[in-house]
């Protein structure tokens, strides 16, 4: 399955609550239509054109860089702005009495084209549409929430929870990503190699135009790494805090569903930060939960009973943490706040047009979906739930590709006594070092279509294989290897029984993800990794291959 293969494949329109727009008021409201830029970049452009500070621009929520997105922003003053270019359009639509906030959003309308679909995926989609319309789908956080993993930083909040404030700051500033531009890459290399020479780094950051106040603080207060965090943008700190809090929420929900729902009535898909269990019918109702599972606050505040508390404790124990230690008291911007989140989301006006030949992927089909979701729900997750496969957006988390080689991947085996294996180098990950089941493999339950497969071989280069017992379908032998252990998913595989990529030999030609390298590399040092003691080179993402 391919999402966002071109910008027109992913359209989002923000919906405002009735009565928010007025004929006159203290704040001018703009509609922003953008592609290939973030909401923050668009806000910066609006502020510059209106002659105000970026902090004066308010918005109801963030929208993806990829795709064509429509959202609203407000400013309390400044000149009126009209701007129109192919990738950014700004137009005033009215006024409001107060600055726009998330409470003013009624959600989003989506139009999404999913490409590279085989017959098995279409059968699965047709079987699942009525179920999702009636019961909704499990409300996990999807990969957009975990940019820290895609960009090689790992869990900064986990560093801080373990007391490694210096390591967290260093990785936040200097962990490399395959998405870095040349100047950014050079800056990060300098920060990593000269770490501790605060005077030199202050000059380097000054020339770079970012983070100079961090090194100014360390030059005057050496060793006060917690204090240095307050000189990072609040948005950056909050993103990392939310990422780990959301990860723990996902893990607790996945563990609970595996216990609460019999195996024939559920199935599991891989996610960027761990397995995601979906229910084929309604999510179980628990008295007193109100249909919600709280995002955990400090010391797991917000949990409604001992059951919720126990699953969050299980999720934290994977990192040798517990609820009593779930607090970052001395670093500003990392306060965990409890907030209820629905266990399931029911999309409104869910429609899927008849499948058509995919002009971009010969021999495959594409389907256009349209629906509305409330604020905070992920459209990409709904598409994966319907089709039962990963998208090309997913990238499994492997700390060996980041600076945090000591940060374990989430390992479901720790809580699954019926499964073999374990150890902190196992878990979900795409490309080299990804999901590597031992003999016997990973077992998924029957899907709604009844069309399935049982594979022997490797999923990402390990022994054994991926087993999905779905009552029939194909049975394949041999590995499904892409490069050195990664695997491709999508239109290149002509076996409709399994949405996997073709076997690629070491010397085979063909497309490779930008930034990838044909040789092995990027593994941690033999001592377990982490920041080099002698400076050395900054951690690298190593351009690993997406699991599509």
What are the tens digits of pLDDT across the range 260-311?
999 999 999 999 999 999 999 999 999 999 999 999 999 999 999 999 999 9
Average pLDDT over residues 334-357: 95
Specify the pLDDT at position 405. Answer: 44
Q: Is residue 139 part of a domain?
A: no
Q: Is residue 54 part of a domain?
A: yes
pLDDT tens digits along 172-203: 999 988 888 899 999 999 999 999 999 999 99
Q: Is residue 91 part of a domain?
A: yes
pLDDT tens digits along 401-443: 333 444 444 444 433 333 333 333 233 333 333 333 333 333 3
Helix H or strand E segment including 32: strand 27-35
Half-sphere exposure at residue 473, Cβ-oriented, CA atoms within 13 angstroms: 26
Q: What is the mean pLDDT of the chain?
A: 77
How many Å apart are CA 270 and CA 11, to the nearest integer? 25
Q: Is residue 442 part of a domain?
A: no
What's the CATH number where 31 sits? 3.30.2350.20
Q: Are 245 and 296 in contact (CB under 8 A)?
A: yes
φ/ψ of residue 88, rounded to 5: -155, 125
DSSP state of 272: S
34-43, 102-111, 531-540: least confident range? 531-540
In this predicted structure, the answer to whether residue 475 has a pLDDT above a threshold of 80 is no
39-43, 158-162, 224-228, 505-509: least confident range? 505-509
Specify the pLDDT at position 92. Answer: 95
Specify the pLDDT at position 61. Answer: 87
Residue 82 in tokens: 């009209």
Average pLDDT over residues 329-345: 93
Q: Write out 74-138 in H/E/C secondary structure.
A: EECCCCCCCEEECCEEEEEEEEECCCCCHHHEEEEEEEEEEEEECHHHHHHHHHHHHHHHHHCEE
φ/ψ of residue 275, rounded to 5: -70, 150
Half-sphere exposure at residue 334, Cβ-oriented, CA atoms within 13 angstroms: 27
Q: Is residue 60 part of a domain?
A: yes
With tokens 């699965």, the residue in question is 124
Specify the pLDDT at position 179. Answer: 84
Total domain count, the chain? 1
Q: Which residues constitute the domain of residue 40?
A: 7-107
Q: Is residue 102 part of a domain?
A: yes
| % of the chain exceeding 70 in pLDDT | 71
Average pLDDT over residues 311-339: 94
Q: Is residue 337 part of a domain?
A: no
Q: Is residue 236 part of a domain?
A: no
Nearest Cα to 158, choosing from 339, 393, 402? 402
């Amino acid at each position: 399955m391919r999402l966002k293969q071109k910008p027109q494949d992913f359209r989002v329109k923000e919906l405002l609550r009735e009565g928010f727009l007025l004929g006159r008021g203290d704040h001018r409201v703009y509609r922003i239509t953008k592609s290939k830029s973030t909401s923050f970049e668009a806000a910066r452009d609006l502020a510059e054109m209106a002659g105000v500070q970026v902090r004066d621009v308010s918005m109801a929520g963030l929208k993806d860089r990829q795709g064509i997105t429509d959202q609203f922003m407000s400013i309390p003053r400044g000149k009126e702005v009209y701007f129109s270019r192919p990738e950014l359009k700004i137009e005033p639509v009215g006024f409001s009495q107060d600055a726009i906030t998330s409470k003013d959003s009624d959600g989003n309308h989506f139009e999404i084209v999913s490409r590279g679909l085989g017959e098995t995926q279409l059968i699965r989609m047709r079987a699942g549409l009525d179920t999702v319309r009636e019961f909704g789908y499990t409300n996990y956080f999807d990969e957009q929430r975990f940019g820290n993993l895609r960009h090689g930083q790992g869990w900064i909040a986990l560093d801080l929870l373990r007391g490694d404030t210096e390591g967290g700051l260093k990785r936040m500033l200097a962990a490399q990503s395959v998405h870095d531009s040349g100047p950014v890459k050079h800056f990060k290399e300098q920060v990593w190699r000269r770490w501790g020479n605060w005077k030199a780094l202050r000059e380097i950051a000054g020339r770079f135009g970012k983070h100079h106040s961090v090194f100014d603080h360390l030059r005057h207060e050496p060793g006060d790494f917690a204090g240095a965090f307050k000189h990072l943008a609040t948005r950056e700190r909050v993103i990392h805090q939310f990422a780990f809090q959301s990860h723990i929420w996902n893990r607790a929900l996945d563990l609970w569903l595996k216990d609460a729902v019999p195996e024939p009535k559920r199935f599991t898909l891989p996610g960027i930060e761990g397995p995601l269990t979906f229910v084929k019918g309604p999510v179980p109702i628990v008295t007193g939960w109100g249909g919600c599972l709280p995002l955990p606050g400090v010391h797991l505040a917000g949990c409604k009973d001992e059951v919720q508390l126990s699953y969050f404790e299980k999720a934290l124990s994977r990192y040798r943490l517990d609820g009593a230690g779930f607090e970052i008291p001395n670093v500003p911007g990392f306060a965990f706040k409890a907030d209820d989140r629905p266990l399931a989301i029911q999309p409104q006006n869910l429609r899927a047009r008849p499948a058509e030949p995919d002009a971009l992927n010969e021999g495959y089909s594409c389907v256009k979906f349209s629906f509305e979701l409330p604020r905070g729900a992920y459209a990409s997750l709904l598409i994966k739930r319907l089709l039962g496969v990963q998208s090309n957006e997913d990238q499994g988390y492997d700390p060996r590709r980041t600076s945090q080689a000591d940060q374990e991947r989430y390992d479901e085996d720790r809580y699954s006594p019926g499964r073999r294996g374990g150890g902190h180098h196992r878990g979900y990950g795409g490309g080299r070092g990804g999901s590597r089941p031992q003999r016997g493999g990973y077992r998924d339950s029957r899907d709604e279509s009844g069309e399935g497969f049982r594979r022997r071989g490797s999923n990402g280069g390990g022994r054994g294989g991926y087993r999905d017992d779905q009552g029939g379908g194909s049975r394949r032998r041999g590995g499904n290897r892409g490069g050195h252990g990664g695997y491709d998913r999508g239109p290149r595989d002509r076996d409709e029984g399994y949405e996997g990529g073709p076997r690629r030999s070491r010397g085979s030609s063909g497309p490779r993800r930008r930034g990838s390298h044909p040789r092995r590399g990027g593994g941690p040092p033999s001592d377990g990794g982490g920041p080099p003691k002698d400076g050395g080179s900054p951690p690298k993402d190593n351009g690993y291959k997406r699991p599509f």
